[in-house]
Structure 1
Amino acid sequence: MPPLWKPESWADRLAELEARSGDLKEVPLRRDVRSLGMLLGEVLREQAGVELFNKVEELRLAAIRRREAHSEGSAKEAEDLMQAAVLGVNTLGVDQAYRLSRAFAFYFELINLAETNHRKRRRLSLQISEDGQRGDDIQRGSFRGTLRAMRRVGITAEEALAWLRRIRVIPVFTAHPTEIARRSVLLKRRRMGDFLEQLDRIPIPDEELTSLEDALTAEITALWQTDEVRSRRPTVSDEIRMGLDYYDVSIFETLPGLYQEVSAALAAEYDLHIDAAELPLLLSFGSWIGGDRDGNPYVTTEVTREAIRAARSRLLRYYDARLLETIDLLTTSAQQLPVSEELRTRLGSFLADLGTDAAQIFGQRFEFEIYRRYLFCVRSRLLRTAGITPSDHDLLETALVSLPAYCSAQELLEDLGIVRRSLAAHGGIRVAETQIDPLLLLVRTFGLHLHTLDIRQHARQHQKALEEASAWREQQPIAVPSGLSPESRDVLEAFRAIAEVKAGCSPEAIRQYVISGAATVEDILAVVWLARLGGVEVAGNGRDPGIMPVPLFESIEDLRNAPEVCRRLWTSPDYQKLLASWDNTQEVMLGYSDSNKDGGMLASTWEIFRAHRALHEVAHECGVQLRLFHGRGGTVGRGGGPTHRSIYAQPVGAFDGQIRITEQGEVLNWKYSDVVLAERNLELMIAASLDALARPDALDPDGHRSGVMRPAWEAAFDELSETSFHFYRHHILDDPEVLEFFETATPVSELEHARIGSRPSRRKGKMSLANLRAIPWVFGWTQSRLLVPAWFGVGHALGEYAEKPGGAALLREMMEEFPLFIDLIRNVEMALAKADLGIASLYASLVPDAALRERVFAKLKAEFERTLSAVLAVTGQSELLQTNQVLARSIRLRNPYVDPMSLIQVDLLRRKRAGEDTEEVNRAISGTINGISAGLRNTG
């Protein structure tokens, strides 16, 4: 049998890889999915038996037939097929149900890998096809495409560079519990992804193709034999390691190539020739992992210290590896080319610090390779900084061990800069660009700390601590009051840990303190007072940037009040002194998840937009440089969606170029599991920020979707938001029956058994919408295939507005021209496409109160159908995703595999609630949670 990936012609395979459009570009994806499916079938028959494999096929084909009947309008046949499948599932034993759900989940693992590999493949194809293009078909989301749009409307090279200097994109990694995969599973995914990528290298001999297939089969087998569900909840330490892994996996290697791409794009579009090392710093990184204390009792002060240490250690070890590589390669001899006097002098000062000379340290080693001697000294300082003791057998390292540690990243940059200048001045510019510039770029980006660690705590905890700390006086700023409750003492101990970190070599490692539930000026000032009480210097100085309180406005009411709260804060004389110490910069965070839970998708989208715009207006009035922190989740119901589209949809004139965005849970793996994917994601964010800042479409007489707000659109959105808000509040939050329905018609209570994250899924107290976090709220509705948070209230509002004279036409105009509205509707459309009322009705059957079940489900179904009709009317489509066939095909491909797992999950939930609450049942339910999450590519 020939290898599965062997083509009839390698020339045809090359044409597929180079294809820009049409079905041809999708052929490799279909081949990967089909071939991986065949390998999985082989593994299932071998590992689980033919009987299980046949049952998988039976359920899969039944799901396909049901879907076909439904699309053909045969509702009765679709219902009959559903009931037959339900009966088939109900006869399964718990162990068989578990193994079946695993089999379907494994298929999604492989589909996801194939789709991820296809994204990388299309990225490469795009880069190749863009080379030398002079037309307008370069992708707008690319950096070069954005520059071309700017040049076309007359933005000069100098202006483009000025815009670029204002850009700073800061992804912030968080450990919100939405990544269900174990770390070991993530590592296996990466190995299989590497094998798939190798299969795209052409031509490949049959022997190598067979070897790669065998390697994939072995990895699938190993994955089948691995526990996909954690046996224990991950600790915060586990989450810290998982977050740091992405730096090793992709980010460190991505950045030099990304900046080279920016440099090349500037040269191609504007004839600007700027070395990558001399470009403005466009990216830096942040993290909440180990600093997010809100509702997580496991984030202690020691955990925060561990997070700082682990990040620093990971970074410095990477620097060390790069330095060793450079030392090996930088063999330039002083007998061939001169070395700058600056470098010789600096090397002499190193040796003077040791109280010796070169002969005693190096002997005859590297006698004429002065750069290598110099870099060994730099490396020794770096090892000292990292606290790494040289091994006894390395005499050179031991001889250099007394060199002082680096006390700032600037010192390291200065030492490396000396090497670059010497090489550049003496015929070694190419060597400098390949060996020194990447390291310079990394040190500029990561310093000696890797990323800033945000601390987060809820405003009510601060208030309680202040009330208890009544003994505090202005003249005793460091005195810690006695008699504090454990919670209040924990708040103050957190500030003491911050002070300790800031006393070290990298005070910039902690710069922001995020205040959850911020609603008043007093909530913000409380952090200032508590920080001083804990010994933290709030104001910035030449060495320490200080600690900035970052209010997180989460509810609809808080978003509406945010501009006035900030005006009062920024006009306070005492706070203005702090602002001055932070270069008149203030960060404010907008909460997507909680505002959605509080007011529904449409109101949340519009109120965030309005708050964003108003905050910038107030900031400009007060002379404040505002940086917004967007707390977006991975799913649509938590503010997720395509990156470029969402950044570009920001209000015109209300973006100054700096943006922080949370990267949460499973999103980290989608975006940063590979160098190519990471580069594409980061490029998208930079390009979108430049696009949103320069707004070339607004300068184009024939341009569309410029983002410029028309009064009619604003009035329409105001009305839509208000209508949707009241409808959502009345029918969801103010209806106690919805919460009861949610608890019983979704697996939200089983979330703890999935052991997704370290943080509890709800705050203390009885289940209520107030103490239920946004993540499990979205999680439960997603698992039950309703995805309520992503669409409820949208259909009602659109439908009412469309009935007004001219209303439907205005909505269609907004859909054509207004980026925010387009982003909203497309996200709602995607959620509707993933939802399934037929499956959801099975989950509803779990509700014991029949009358309550019928009332709530009928309400949800009616609004779903209203929203579906409204979205189709506004988009002018006859079916969902008509203009996004790639996503439509992906969902169609996945549904026959998601549906059986949903049936199995409903049956297992029914058994558990009937009294079969055993470890085996809970494990099986966790397996279905894992599989459905992978199938929908959403957890929470």
Structure 2
Amino acid sequence: MSAQPKLKRFNDNVLSKYQIYNSIFMTLPFDTISNTGVLLPLFHSICKKGFEQGKNPTEIVELFFKKYQENPSEDEKISLLFKFIQYIERQVVLFDAIEDTAFPVVNNMDGIGTLRNSKEIAFSSDKKEELQRYLEEFKVRIVLTAHPTQFYPGTVLGIITDLDNAIKNDDLLLIKSLLAQLGKTPFFKKTKPTPYDEAVSLIWYLENVFYHSISDIYNYIQHNIFDGEATENEIINLGFWPGGDRDGNPFVTTQITLDVAERLRQTILKNYYLDVRKLKRRLTFDGIAEILANLEKRLLKHVRKSYENVTFSQKILLQELHKVRNILTKDHQSLFLDELDDFINKVHIFGFHFATLDIRQDSRVHHDAFTQIVKDLLANGDTTFPKNYIDLSADEQVEILSKVKGKINPEILTDEMSVKTIESIYALKRIQKRNGERGANRYIISNNQTELNVMQTFAMLNLCDFGDNLSVDVVPLFETVDDLQNADNVMRTLYSNKNYRKHIASRNNKQTIMLGFSDGTKDGGYLMANWGIFKAKEALTKISREFGITVIFFDGRGGPPARGGGKTHQFYASLGPTIEDKEIQLTIQGQTISSNFGTLDSSQYNLEQLLSSGIKNEVFTKDQLSDSHREIMNDLSETSYKTYVDFKNHPKFLPYLEKMSTLKYYAKTNIGSRPSKRSKSDKLDFADLRAIPFVGSWSQLKQNVPGFFGVGSALKKYEDAKRFEEVKEFYNSSDFFKTLLENSMMSLTKSFFELTAYMANDEEFGDFWKLIYEEYKTTKRLLLKLSGYAELMENHPEGKASIEVRENIVLPLLTIQQFALKRIQELQKSSGNEKEILILEKMVTRSLFGNINASRNSA
């Protein structure tokens, strides 16, 4: 099967099956309009032809009703359009399920980038020991975030799982029943989820996917690379943000943080309990059965009840399991040893915490909270800070902050945010006590600008009774273009501080630094954000090595290219020796969790690709940029940046997003607990815009601006100067540059300007729309010229095919959305249309879901 071209495998196992099952789905009567399934293909056909003929969404919708309905009333039209939305949402789920099921057939599970492939290359080139040494240190950390780029209710997730299995078994009767169930199950939530709800949704993936796929990978490495010997390094571990990420989310409370940590602990113990029960059925031997029976009782006790005093730990469980192992090898001929080792490995990897809960807060919130803490301490006669502290220079404050220690009582604080901040740190301590240190040991400062931001957090941690053993990493997150350029200066100051340096020494001489992609892209455009991060990593690597510190980079990628993502493993494989790569850490959000890690097969494959990208970069090849390539990259990103900033400062930029896109509807979808913008102001401010609604709004318009704008202008500069061949040579010789531009191609592939072509004639926004379209055409033309392709994504035909099917499924949905948006704008010109506007706004909001979920193959 794998000998066939990937595109053929995709067509045979995904596309053909979708066509068969969709035809069954379309004949199922879900509602009183029994012919909805018959009418949708007709509407789809009219949409397709209509856009080819240059019609606008309103003309297309009206043509459909004129051709296929006899004088329908307005209510009947609206009702049918809502039914279409309902059908299309479910078609997306059906396609997802079929694509997931076919994953191991379409993708070669032993091919390039898999562990088996990496092992064979290493062994055949006599690099076994080098590979072993590398894997004794190298780690991959996947950090799941609740950023809402996809959110199915639990009921729908359950149906999807059952549908996957039924499709795998070709169980036509069950598939038919499940499709009928899907048709009648609500897709949207009437109320916003709480951060705890979001955590529970993601814990499903931990329990049902990662628990198995990560341990399978570790077992493979142990048996095939380390010859059966265990390695202390867990190699892959998990991070978790829901319940700990406070940045802009007022709904994350200290209690929710503690509840999520407890849910993580009880979930992993439940999995251990089930595994011990399985082991008991096999290891029925003297001296072993008694130990396992005792462990089964202890685990069940802690799964059923959350005890105030915890008397059970990872260390105790491992001690008991190693006792079992010794007896098994000594007295029972190592019978079922592989099953026991598998369980020991799981306990070693997941501990009693399952995933490390990160705490995150914005530096501006910290600054205000910390300033008030100092004032409250001084007002209470506390001598921790000098009376003139607030008037001191930043350097003087940093010096004082590096030395403070103590135990703040939150009850003396007068400011609500100060109390919440200090309580969140005390929660860290409590979680470590219950779940082990890995339960929660990182504090991330988003929007980090200066060394003072880091030292304020460092001081707050030291004022929460950690004594001389601060078991928490302080992690600055540099996001904007300016902050990235200044990051190495900030870290030099911190490394030069005696007390902060001593803290890093106590943390194994490692400093984690997070670099944000989505806000960087929003701030500086695609090329500048990516190049800015590359250069920041180089500068931070250099300064860290100078001080004898290993820097660990934590990337806010793992989403669509417009949010800094794209082909993630190719990106990591392209980094050269000037960037530290002892660990790969990245956020995975929304649809990327389900598309890349949603099943055992896809999770194992993509985790192996990430592992192999590190191995490739370290053990096999190094892709180093030459000085001439650096000059070109600097010039391209500067030109791109200027083009993007001019565009962003265009007087119509914010009004266009506000009036012509779905931006304001994101807040109404109830797919995430976090507000869609940072401030409560009614006025739209660019700085307040969150990256997800910002990127998502461009995506819904099918104008994926953050993924390409400025790229075309930068390339055109070289074409006009007759220097295009230099860029071509750079593209052909650098994996980094090629990966960067291929991810931009993906954004272009998902653009469809015919949908909004009517805007070109808009009195207010016509010229602005044309500006975007011209940059799109320039970028597309020059990327094709650069790559030598006849069409975009020519080298990834199966990925292109998947995108095309998804875009084709949602074409009627996008048409309905634009029809509703256009009608709302018309109705708002006069009064008395509030009721109709309300219905149309609901239509826009409902159509967001299918479009969001359909674009999941973005990384």
TM-score between both structures, scaled by the size of structure 2: 0.90
**Structure 1 position 771 matched with structure 2 position 688:** yes
Match of 2:118 among 136, 139, 146: 146
Match of 1:285, SS state, is strand
Aligned with residue 892 of structure 1, among 804, 825, 829? 804
The superposition leaves residues 150-188 of structure 1 with CA deviations (integer Å, 9 ceiling, x where unpaired) of 445x45221121112121111011101212322221111
Structure-2 residue corresponding to 1:478: 407
Q: Which amino acid aligns with 1:273?
A: D
Give, in angstroms, the shift of residue 761 of structure 1: 0.7
- For residues 297 and 83 of structure 1, the distance between their equivalents in structure 2, rounded to whole angstroms, comes to 40
Question: Residue 469 in 1 paired to residue 422 in 2?
Answer: no
Q: Is the 8 A contact 2:405 2:459 kept in 1?
A: no
Shift of the alpha carbon at 1:37? 1.1
**Alpha-carbon distance in structure 2 between the residues aligned to 1:516 and 1:770:** 14
Residue 518 of structure 1 corresponds to which residue in structure 2? Answer: 448
Contact 1:844 1:857 in 2 (8 A): yes
Given that residues 406 and 463 in structure 2 are in contact (C-alpha distance below 8 angstroms), is that contact kept between their aligned partners in structure 1?
yes
Give the equivalent residue in structure 2 for 1:934: 853
Answer yes or no: is the 8 Å Cα contact 1:104–1:901 preserved in 2: yes
Secondary structure in 2 matching 1:908: helix
Distance 1:85 1:430, change over 3 A: farther
Residue type matched to 2:247 in 1?
D
Pair 1:751-2:666 in alignment:
yes
Matched residue, 1:42: 27
Q: Which residue is equivalent to 1:742?
A: 657
Match of residue 397 from structure 1: none
Aligned to 2:448, the other structure's residue is in SS state coil
Deviation at 1:656, TM superposition (A): 3.4
Candidates 815, 824, 847, aligned match of 1:903: 815
Instruction: Tell me the equivalent position of 2:268.
Output: 315
Q: Is the 8 A contact 2:514 2:554 kept in 1?
A: yes
Q: Which stretch of the first structure deviates more once superposed, 590-599 or 680-689?
A: 680-689
Shift of 1:17: 7.1
Deviations 1:904-938 (A, max 9, x none): 11222234442445664344323211122233337
Question: Residue 243 of structure 2 is aligned with which of 277, 290, 295?
Answer: 290
Verify: 1:499 aligned to 2:418, yes or no: no
Match of 1:662 in 2: 587
Matches within 5 A, 1:37-436: 37-43=22-28, 45=29, 47=31, 49-65=33-49, 70=52, 78-80=53-55, 84-88=59-63, 93-123=77-107, 126-127=108-109, 139-151=111-123, 154-199=125-170, 212-263=171-222, 265-266=224-225, 273-275=227-229, 277-278=230-231, 280-332=233-285, 369-386=286-303, 388=305, 406-434=311-339, 436=340
Q: Give the Å deviation of 1:449.
A: 1.2
**Alignment match of 1:550 (pick from 446, 467, 475):** 475
Q: 1:753 to 1:82 in 2, by over 3 A?
A: closer
Relative to structure 1, the CA distance from residue 842 to residue 424 in structure 2 (aligned partners, 3 Å threshold; closer, same or farther) is farther
Match of 1:883?
795
Match of 1:684 among 604, 609, 612: 609
Residue type of the alignment partner of 1:484: T
How many Å separate the matches in 2 of 1:746 and 1:252? 40
Q: CA deviation at 1:763?
A: 0.7
Shift of 1:566: 0.6
Q: Deviations over 1:446-491 (max 9, x none)?
A: 1111111100001011111221122254388223474522222221
Q: 1:420 to 1:292 in 2, by over 3 A?
A: same
Give the C-alpha shift of residue 780 in structure 1.
0.5
CA distance in 2, matches of 1:167, 1:432: 27
Q: What is the distance in 1 between the residues matched to 2:522 and 2:334?
A: 56
- Spell out, residue by residue over 1:786-817, the C-alpha distance to the aligned partner (whole angstroms, 9 max, x if none): 01111100100011023334x31222222222
| Alpha carbons 1:908, 1:925 under 8 Å: kept | yes
Distance 2:759 2:141 in 1: 40
- Tell me if the contact between 1:177 and 1:757 (Cα under 8 Å) persists in the aligned partners: yes
Distance 1:879 1:505, change over 3 A: closer
In structure 2, how many angstroms separate the alpha carbons of the residues matched to 1:173 and 1:672? 11
- Contact kept, 8 Å, 2:550 with 2:580, in 1: the verdict is no
Q: Does the C-alpha gap of structure 1 residues 938 and 889 become closer, same or farther in structure 2, counting only changes over 3 Å?
A: closer
Query: Structure 1 residue 555: deviation in Å?
Result: 0.1
Deviation of 1:52 after TM superposition, in Å, equals 2.0
Task: Answer whether contact 1:531 1:537 (CA < 8 A) is retained.
Answer: no
Q: Is the 8 A contact 1:172 1:285 kept in 2?
A: yes
What residue number does 1:813 align with? 729
Amino acid of the residue matched to residue 774 of structure 1? A
1:94: how far off?
Answer: 2.2
Does the 8 Å contact 2:85/2:847 carry over to 1?
A: yes
Partner Cα distance (1:781, 1:512) in 2: 33
State the one-letter code of the partner of 1:410. K
| CA positional deviation for 1:109 | 1.6
Corresponding letter in the other structure for 1:524: V
Of residues 337, 344, 354, the one that matches 1:450 is 354
Partner SS, residue 93 of structure 1: helix
Of stretches 96-105 and 601-610 in structure 1, the one that deviates more from structure 2 is: 96-105
Whole-Å Cα distance in 1 between the matches of residues 801 and 273 of structure 2? 46
Work out the CA distance in 1 between the residues paired with 2:757 and 2:264. Answer: 47
The verdict on how the C-alpha distance between 1:645 and 1:39 changes in structure 2, with shifts beyond 3 A counting, is: same
2:629 corresponds to 1:713: yes
Q: 2:18 aligns with which of 29, 33, 50?
A: 33
- Tell whether 2:790 aligns with 1:866: no
- Report deviation, 1:389: 9.4
Match of 2:393 in 1: none
- Give the gaps of 5 or more residues in structure 1: 1-15, 71-77, 131-138, 200-211, 267-271, 333-368, 391-403, 541-545, 699-706
Give the match's secondary structure for 2:247: coil
Q: Contact 2:571–2:740 (CA<8 Å) still a contact in 1?
A: no
Give me the whole-angstrom Cα distance separating, in 2, the residues matched to 1:151 and 1:882.
Answer: 33
User: Which residue is 1:340 aligned to?
Assistant: none
Return the alpha-carbon distance in structure 1 between the equivalents of residues 656 and 143 of structure 2.
35
SS at structure 1 position matched to 2:553: strand
- Cα distance 1:458–1:558, how it changes in 2: closer, same or farther (>3 A)? same
| 731, 747, 750: which one aligns with 2:647 | 731
Counterpart residue number, 1:787: 704
Shift of the 721–191 alpha-carbon distance from structure 1 to 2, 3 Å rule, reads same
- Structure with the greater alpha carbon radius of gyration: 1
1:263 Cα deviation (Å)? 4.5
Q: Percent identity?
A: 24
Contact 2:718 2:724 in 1 (8 A): yes
Question: Partner of 2:689: helix, strand, or coil?
Answer: coil
Per-residue deviation, residues 191-229 of structure 1 (Å, max 9, x unmatched): 101111123xxxxxxxxxxxx111111111111111111
SS in 2 for 1:757: coil
State the 1:325 CA deviation.
1.5
| Contact 2:291-2:320 at 8 Å conserved across structures | no
Question: Residue 114 of structure 2 contacts residue 609 of structure 2 at CA under 8 Å; is this kept in 1?
Answer: yes
Tell me how far 1:304 sits from its aligned partner: 0.4
CA distance in 2, matches of 1:738, 1:476: 48
